[in-house]
Amino acid sequence: MAGPILVFDSGVGGLSVVAALRQRLPSAELTYACDNAMLPYGVREDDWLVKRIVEVCGAAVNVSGCVGLVVACNTASTLALDRLRQHLDVPVIGTVPAIKPAAELSRSRHIGLLATSATVRRPYTDQLIHDFAGNCRVTRVAADALVVEAEQMVRGKTPDLSRIRDALAPLDALHDLDTVVLGCTHFPLLRDWLSGAMTRPLRWVDSGDAIARRCAQIMPITASRGSVETAWLTALTPELAVGLRAHGFKNSCSLVID
């Protein structure tokens, strides 16, 4: 079986997972899909989201001829992974907050979870914390404003440091907290800005490399052999196409949802 691995997100956040995949699997052929017409997912209602995610991923899997799907979105994965696996006949890998490694790395036993409004309150997240961070205090902070900053940055605009500081203020105030889970794939794109906005050094943990390792284990990898990689967008805009080109997706196309 030959074909690209499809990386899906609501917007540009999946590019942080693409970076981890390119690092670990440099020759693998990738394709990208995003539902930027409906961004942000993190403030939307669950039932609507499940239906939409299944529709968009189904359409993207069909049009791309992919060998497997990486749901590079915590907001989608913590809600719709089971439904996607029922509907699709390719392997599906999800992205969920890296609570387990963060709890293992924290010395102070106080970790932060920085994610979308939806992810911080999901039962899936409660279960991850229960299973893997039982001996830690976990402070959850919803930071949907950072999704907007990452979207702007990929379109060539400088992120707004004061908005980033405001989003991080609840974590910065907790002096015994030493580790923060970046539980939204948009946030690793802003890592330098996040570090710069804090008044002290913190450990930032994301899921990118764990996903890349899982892909290496279970996905049939096709070497790209220089083929032009495509991005599929539910709203095709020139600014986004330029941003995606800088991440290797030279061709941008409309993804039509019936």
Catalytic residues: 73, 184
CA nearest to 93, candidates 59, 74, 69, 61:
69
Does 151 help bind ligand DGL (rule: CB under 6 A)? no
Under the binding rule (CB under 6 A), the answer on residue 234 touching ligand DGL is no
Residue 185 interacts with ligand DGL (CB under 6 A): yes or no: yes
CB of 82 or CB of 176, closer to ligand DGL: 82
CA dist list (Å): 187 to 15, 51, 175, 226, 257: 10, 25, 22, 29, 27
Question: Alpha-carbon distance 257 to 89, whole Å?
Answer: 19
Q: Please tell me the distance from the alpha carbon of residue 245 to that of residue 203, in angstroms, as a whole number.
A: 30
| β-strand partners of 204 | 180
Q: Give the interface segment with ligand DGL, choosing from 36-44, 101-109, 127-135, 172-180 (CB under 6 A).
A: 36-44
Is 40 among the residues that bind ligand DGL (CB under 6 A)? yes
Q: Report the Cα–Cα distance between both ends of the chain, in Å, rounded.
A: 28
Whole-number Å distance between alpha carbons of 90 and 57: 11
Kindly tell me which residue out of 8, 32, 41, 193 binds ligand DGL, with binding defined by CB under 6 A: 41
Candidate list 39, 81, 129, 215; residue touching ligand DGL; CB under 6 A? 39
Considering only residues 31, 75, 230, 234, which one is a binding residue for ligand DGL as defined by CB under 6 A? 75
| Site residues (vs ligand DGL, CB under 6 A) | 9-11, 13, 39-42, 73-75, 116, 119, 147, 184-186
